[in-house]
Structure formats: C-alpha cells, structure tokens
Structure 1
C-alpha cells in the first residue's frame, strides 16, 4: 500500500503542509515536493508519474511523491515523530 503526502500526514497526526515542511527541513523533499534522493530512499518513497489529456492543452504530465508502507515508520524516525499506537485487536481473546 502506498500513501499520498496528505494520507501519510494524517496517519502521522500532521497536516500535509506541516509534513512537507518537516521533510524539506530534513532534505527528504525538493522544491517540487519530490524525493531529493529517489535512489537512496527508493525502499520508502517513490515518484508517481501521471498523465492525462486536456481538450485544449493536449497531454498534461505531473509527478507526485508516494510513501510506501514501510516508509511510514522510516519517515516518523527521520522526522523524530512518535507514531500513534496501533489499537489492540481483542477479537482473538478466548
């Protein structure tokens, strides 16, 4: 599972702008909000390429950052954040 920056921010208890600010401070994101070191951090972050056709402007292209599942804990550690506790599943209690 991959998360957008907004989804990851919510998971970490932050807003998207706050997450982006922290990631930029640590040198994890560049000015375009893409991973600064996409090769080094490829196990945790990736660049998603998208395109679509616009009737008047033709093909449009964009890139965005996605955070991989294993990247959530890594990102929290990089930013010095504490992850929220995972609720205990009590359904297996006999």
Structure 2
C-alpha cells in the first residue's frame, strides 16, 4: 500500500510540512515535492500520475509522491526519526 506524504507524516508523528522540509534538507524531494532521485529511491518512493478534465482549461495533469510500505522505515532512518511503537495486542491473552 502506497501512502501519501500526509499519511506518512501522520504515521511518523509529524506534520506534512515538517516531513517535506526534512525530506528536502536530505535531498530526497525536489522543489515540486517529487522524488529527487526516482531511480535510486524507486524501492521506497514512487510517483502517482493523475489527470482530470476541466471544462475551460482542458486536460489537467498532476503528479504526487507516494511512500511505499518498504519506504516507511527507510524514510525514518534517512530523516533520523523514531518510528512509533506498535501497540501491544492483549486480546489474545486467555
């Protein structure tokens, strides 16, 4: 499952603007908030292409960065963040 930058930031316990700022500092994102090195980081980061039709402007195109499941831990390590602990599930206790 790929996550948006907002979903990833929430998972890491920070805000989306803070995540983008940290990723830019580490040269992981370019000025368009897309992966700076898409080939090098393709196992961890991806780009989602979108399009829609606007009545007056015609076809509109967009791109956004997605963080792959394998990229969550990698990104936390790159940015020096600690991943939140996985809550203990006590429902299985007899």
TM-score normalised by L of structure 1: 0.97
**Structure 1 residue 57: Cα displacement:** 0.4
Runs (4 or more) in structure 1 with deviation over 2 Å come to none
Q: Where do residues 41-80 of structure 1 align in structure 2 (5 Å cutoff)?
A: 41-80=41-80
Task: Extract unaligned runs of 5+ from structure 2.
Answer: none
Q: Counterpart in 2 of 1:21?
A: 21
Between the aligned partners of 1:65 and 1:14, the Cα distance in structure 2 is: 17
Question: Deviation of residue 89 (structure 1)?
Answer: 1.3
What secondary structure sits across from 1:91 in the alignment? coil
Q: How many angstroms does 1:90 deviate by? A: 1.4
Deviation of 1:38 (Å): 0.6
Size of the aligned set, in residue pairs, is: 94
Question: What is the TM-score with the length of structure 2 in the denominator?
Answer: 0.97
